[in-house]
Amino acid sequence: MTADGYPKCIIDLPKAKIPFLGVKGWIAQGESSQTVFFEIEPIGEVTPHSHGAQFGIVIEGEMQLTVGEITNTYTKGDSYFIPEGIVHHATFNTFCRVMDYFAEPDRYEHE
């Protein structure tokens, strides 16, 4: 993990209940959506799953993301979009910091 983490205004947001060891998140809650600021240790693969639409930006690190049958590598500054209902999975071999917008208000519960 790097020393230049999220600022206090992000860390003060409600923590997300994340089902994966090595993943932390803070939720900016909207009426119909959530934005989650993640810190992800090099945990390997997050298993295939689907949910509402998701848009994300890599702030730090590198991840491989497979959306449907297409796999790409994303690094700092890259963005990605996952349409609603499309099966996807990601692999994290380095520490990553990503910000994801979910087009659903209850993607993650608060801790």
Could you tell me the CA-to-CA distances from 88 to 38, 60, 64, 68 in Å, in that order?
17, 21, 11, 6
Q: What is the CATH number of the domain that holds 52?
A: 2.60.120.10
pLDDT of residue 20: 86
Domain of 23, in residue numbers:
7-36
Number of structural domains (the chain) is 2
> Is residue 71 a part of any domain in this protein?
yes
Would you state the pLDDT for residue 1?
A: 42
- Domain annotation covers residue 111: no
> Same domain, yes or no, for 46 and 31?
no
- Answer whether residue 12 is part of any domain: yes
Token pair, residue 73, equals 């590598």
Instruction: Note whether 50 and 65 are same-domain residues.
Output: yes
Q: What is the pLDDT along the chain (111 residues), one digit of tens a residue?
A: 444 689 999 999 999 999 889 999 999 999 999 999 999 999 999 999 999 999 999 999 999 999 999 999 999 999 999 999 999 999 999 999 999 999 999 999 999
